[in-house]
Amino acid sequence: MSQRLFRYRRVRLPLLVFFAGLTLIVHHAVRSHRQNLDRQISLVSQQASEAGAQISGMTQHLFRKNLPRSVDLLLSYASVSPDLEIGVVIDAADIIRHSTRQQWEGMALADSPFAGLASPLDGVRERMEGMTIQDPSGQSLTGYFPFWSRPESRTKGVIVLHYRLDGAILTAWNETVHNSISQTFSLAAGSLMFWLILTQWAASERLRRVVDQARTLVDRGEKPVPLEGEDELAQLSRSFSAAAERIEETELQFRELAAGIRDVFWFVRNERGATPLVNDAFSRIWECPAMELLRRRWSWLRRVAKEDRRKALEFIRDLRGGVEVGTMEIRLVFPEGRQKWVECRGFSLAHQPGQIRAIGGLAADVTERKDIDRRLMEAAEDERMRIGLDLHDDVCQRMAAVQLKGGILQNSLQRAGLPQAELAAEVSRNLSEATEIVRGFAHGLAPVVLEAEGLVPALAQLAQFIEKAFGIRCWASCGVAGIPLDATATTHLYRIAQELVTNAARHAKPAGIGISVTRSERLLVLQVSNDGIPFDGTPPAGSRGMGLHAIRKHLDALGGRIFFKPSPELLGGTLAVCEIPLPPEQTDPNWTPAI
């Protein structure tokens, strides 16, 4: 129905207007032609009257002066008019005395080809008034103008001017046709404009319906109803509806796929203010409804531990900048004190290099794995403590006893004057050195000083052990009056420093190693520098990288991070920097990361 109405409005209505206007133009042309013809005949009649009156007056004067041949000159002037067919001067006996055609002079009017012009002559002579008469056929007009040929004898002559109306009729037709063509073109232009307006209006109306379809799909998610017809907008509408169906099918498949993923799948356009899309796993892991993101798109960050918010924001920033990111682990904190570990991976979608269209990723709950790692680390730490204590309390004591016996043997051999006394002394010295090294290993495995005196003396003892064990100069410095960490966190920090120093001593071949601990507003910073072979944090080929793996496990427990860079204070070498967030009570309580 709407399509038929559209066609009627678009085609038939302008045609109807055109034909109605054309009918009016034809009617107006007929009337206009009559008026133009009457006007042209009136002009010819007026011309005949003026010429006849002038010639009759001059002819009467010339006849008085007895200058009849000058009348021919007057008639020659009158014959200049293209419409004048014949002009004659007739005397009282109806004899042609003068004519525009000399072959008729002296001939009776009744014998000439214009005998039909004689009937009004008597009436004109009687009234002595000029007159013009139009032929009943409308093809000619004749003017009769009397004059006194001989006033003394009271004889009357008549001047007859016969005009053809072909020129007047042609002029009238030309005017009529010209005006009709102008009006027809104006009508055609108006009808075309009317058709364009109707077409534009109808197209706008149908285009509005297509836009309404899009709004219906976007706002309410309903399937749009395509337009009827075969015009371009109807085809566009059907294509749009088909695309909406395919999008709906794809979205359904995507939702089914996302619903089957146990991890959080998230996706967001790389635009300011864009709301992220997440699957149902978000509500389970974050323990808050996904609809909350529609009201506050950054509400997910409120669950993230304050120490990890900066890391999470840098992760999002790198994704939006097209930077390739690795795996990130953050902690979610809940009101009752529980926390979850979440492992995040991300990806970026780009139109072309440098233009990121959208970002997304996966977030998996790894709390259980973290608990297992923590228990393994605790078990390993307990095993280290046991081995360290066994070395210290058993092996070291036995070696000390052997060293003592070696000293007694040395004294006995010296008193007996035997040369083996020197060998016994060397054995005693070697046992003493070995005892110190084993005691250092025991202190490294079971840092009793760490528990008794704190991190700073423990790091100093670690530096002394490295010097004895590897023959490398090592020193430790601390710019913090007190380490604001609990015993467990302090142990993790010590193990990180121990692993970094040991790795540097074994692999970098340095001349010196430095350990320092400093503090900023929100971070505790551990730095280990060396002047040996540079290292960028990537394990060499063929290496299992267990040392870095262990360091990252300890840092995960502390919520910290590590990075390597060239040492700015040494000529060559590497500076390893570990940043550990301080507990909330040790930082500014009003500080929160910018969102």
For range 43-64, the mean pLDDT: 82
**Which of 186-200, 230-244, 488-502, 534-548 has the largest mean confidence?**
488-502
pLDDT beyond 70 at 121: yes
- Quote the pTM value: 0.46
Better-scored residue on pLDDT, 440 or 492? 492
pLDDT beyond 70 at 213: no
Per-residue model confidence as pLDDT tens digits over 245-299: 776 777 676 666 666 678 888 888 888 878 888 888 888 889 888 888 878 888 8
Cα 160 versus chain centre, distance: 90
Burial label for 36, CB within 10 Å (0-12, 13-18, 19+), is buried
Phi, psi of 80 (to 5 degrees): -60, -30
Rounded Cα distance between 250 and 244, Å, is 10
Better-scored residue on pLDDT, 592 or 369? 369
Query: Which region among 423-437, 462-476, 485-499 has the lowest average model confidence (pLDDT)?
Result: 423-437
Q: What does 401-429 look like in DSSP terms, one character per residue?
A: HHHHHHHHHHHHHHHTT-THHHHHHHHHH
The percentage of the chain sitting over the pLDDT mark of 90, rounded to a whole number, equals 2
For range 85-110, the mean pLDDT: 81
Per-residue pLDDT band for 3 (boundaries 50, 70, 90) equals very low
Q: What is the pLDDT, as a whole number, of residue 25?
A: 72
For range 78-92, the mean pLDDT: 81
Per-residue model confidence as pLDDT tens digits over 146-186: 888 776 667 888 888 888 888 888 888 888 888 878 777 77
Residue 52's nearest CA partner among 165, 163, 171 is 163
What mean pLDDT value characterizes the chain?
77
Do 227 and 237 touch, CB atoms closer than 8 A?
yes
For range 56-81, the mean pLDDT: 78
Tokens 């009436």 sit on residue: 123
- What are the contacts of 484-488 at 24+ separation with CB within 8 A? 484/519, 484/524, 484/582, 484/583, 484/586, 485/455, 485/524, 485/580, 485/583, 487/451, 488/557
Do 267 and 254 touch, CB atoms closer than 8 A?
no
Per-residue pLDDT band for 588 (boundaries 50, 70, 90) equals very low
One-letter amino acid at 330 equals: I
DSSP bridge pairs for 144:
131, 160
Helix axes 420-445, 455-470, angle to 10 degrees: 140
Give the strands of the sheet with 155-164, arranged side by side.
96-99, 84-90, 155-164, 140-150, 131-134
Compute how many other C-beta atoms are within 10 angstroms of the C-beta atom of residue 452.
Answer: 9
Rounded Cα distance between 60 and 156, Å, is 10
Query: Which region among 325-339, 443-457, 508-522, 546-560 has the lowest average model confidence (pLDDT)?
Result: 443-457
pLDDT beyond 70 at 304: yes
Cα separations in angstroms, 469 against 439, 448, 516: 11, 19, 20
The secondary structure of the chain in percent helix, strand, coil, rounded to multiples of 5, reads: 55, 20, 25
Tokens 């704190």 sit on residue: 454
Rounded Cα distance between 528 and 509, Å, is 14
pLDDT beyond 50 at 594: no
The radius of gyration of the chain's CA atoms, rounded to the nearest angstrom, is 61
pLDDT beyond 70 at 388: no
Q: Indicate the pairing of strand 574-581 with strand 277-278.
A: unpaired
Rounded Cα distance between 288 and 303, Å, is 9
pLDDT beyond 60 at 423: yes
Cα angle value 262/267/272 (rounded, 5°) = 150
Q: Which residues are within 8 A (CB) of 530 and not within 5 positions of it... i.e. 6 or more apart?
A: 504, 508, 510, 512, 513, 514, 567, 570, 573, 574
Q: Which two tokens stand for residue 1?
A: 């129905």
Better-scored residue on pLDDT, 352 or 136? 136
Rounded Cα distance between 429 and 524, Å, is 42
For range 109-124, the mean pLDDT: 80
Q: What is the pLDDT, as a whole number, of residue 584?
A: 61
Per-residue pLDDT band for 528 (boundaries 50, 70, 90) equals very high
Per-residue pLDDT band for 593 (boundaries 50, 70, 90) equals very low
> What does DSSP assign to residue 47?
H
Residue 359's nearest CA partner among 319, 299, 311 is 319
Rounded Cα distance between 503 and 382, Å, is 22
pLDDT beyond 50 at 589: no
Q: What is the pLDDT, as a whole number, of residue 89?
A: 87
Rounded Cα distance between 339 and 200, Å, is 63
Q: What is the pLDDT, as a whole number, of residue 443?
A: 60
Rounded Cα distance between 477 and 7, Å, is 91
Question: Could you tell me if residue 190 is left (phi over 0), alpha (psi between -120 and 50 degrees) or otherwise beta?
Answer: alpha
DSSP bridge pairs for 286:
none
pLDDT beyond 70 at 540: no
Compute how many other C-beta atoms are within 10 angstroms of the C-beta atom of residue 458.
Answer: 25
* 3-state SS record for 218-283: HHHCCCCCCCCCCCHHHHHHHHHHHHHHHHHHHHHHHHHHHHCCCCEEEEEECCCCCCCEECCHHH
Per-residue pLDDT band for 367 (boundaries 50, 70, 90) equals confident
